[in-house]
Amino acid sequence: MAQGNFADGYPTKAQPVLPPESVLFGRSRGMQTLLQKAERVALVDVPVLIYGESGTGKEVLAKFIHQRSPRASAPFVKVNCPAIPAALLESELFGYEKGAFTGALGSKPGRVELAQGGTLFLDEISELELSLQAKLLQVLQDGKFCRIGGQEERHVDLRLLCATHQRLEDRIAAGAFREDLFYRINVVGLRVPPLRERLADIPAIVDYLLAAYNDRYNGKAKPLSRRILERFQAYSWPGNIRQLENLIKRYVVLGSEDAIWSELGPQPPSWPPEASRPGSIPLKGMAREAAREFERKVILEVLQAHHWNRKKAAQALNISYRSLLYKLRKATEPPAGNPAP
Ligand SMILES: Nc1ncnc2c1ncn2[C@@H]1O[C@H](COP(=O)(O)OP(=O)(O)OP(=O)(O)O)[C@@H](O)[C@H]1O
Ligand SMILES: [Mg+2]
Going by C-alpha positions, the residue among 161, 128, 168, 172 that lies closest to residue 45 is 161
Ligand 1 lined by 254 (C-beta under 6 Å) = no
Confidence of residue 266 (pLDDT cuts 50, 70, 90): low
Phi-psi label, residue 323: left if phi above 0, alpha if psi -120 to 50, beta otherwise: alpha
To test ligand 1's pocket by mutation, which of 49, 127, 241 has the most ligand atoms within 8 angstroms of CB?
A: 241
Centre of ligand 2 from the C-alpha of residue 111, in Å: 17
Distance (Å, rounded) from C-alpha 151 to C-alpha 145?
10
Ligand 1 lined by 191 (C-beta under 6 Å) = no
Q: How much of the chain is in helix, strand and coil states, percent to nearest 5?
A: 50, 10, 40
Kind and range of the H or E element at 136? helix 130-142
Ligand 1 lined by 12 (C-beta under 6 Å) = no
DSSP 3-state assignment of 113?
A: helix
Q: Write the burial class of residue 276 (CB in 10 Å: 0-12 exposed, 13-18 middle, 19+ buried).
A: middle
Confidence of residue 41 (pLDDT cuts 50, 70, 90): very high
Q: Region 7-24: what's the mean pLDDT?
A: 67
Ligand 1 lined by 56 (C-beta under 6 Å) = yes
Give residue-wise pLDDT tens across range 195-204: 999 999 999 9
Distance (Å, rounded) from C-alpha 118 to C-alpha 135?
19
Name 204's Cβ contacts closer than 8 Å, sequence gap at least 6: 22, 23, 26
Model confidence pTM above 0.75:
yes
Kind and range of the H or E element at 155? strand 154-155
The CA distances from residue 243 to 54, 205, 239, in Å, are 10, 12, 5
> Dmax over Cα atoms in the chain, in whole Å?
80
Q: Region 244-270: what's the mean pLDDT?
A: 82
Ligand 1 closest atom vs CA 26:
1
Instruction: Indicate whether 83 pLDDT > 70.
Output: yes
* Superfamily grouping for domain 29-192: P-loop containing nucleotide triphosphate hydrolases (3.40.50.300)
Whether the CB-CB separation of 1 and 25 falls below 8 Å is answered with: no
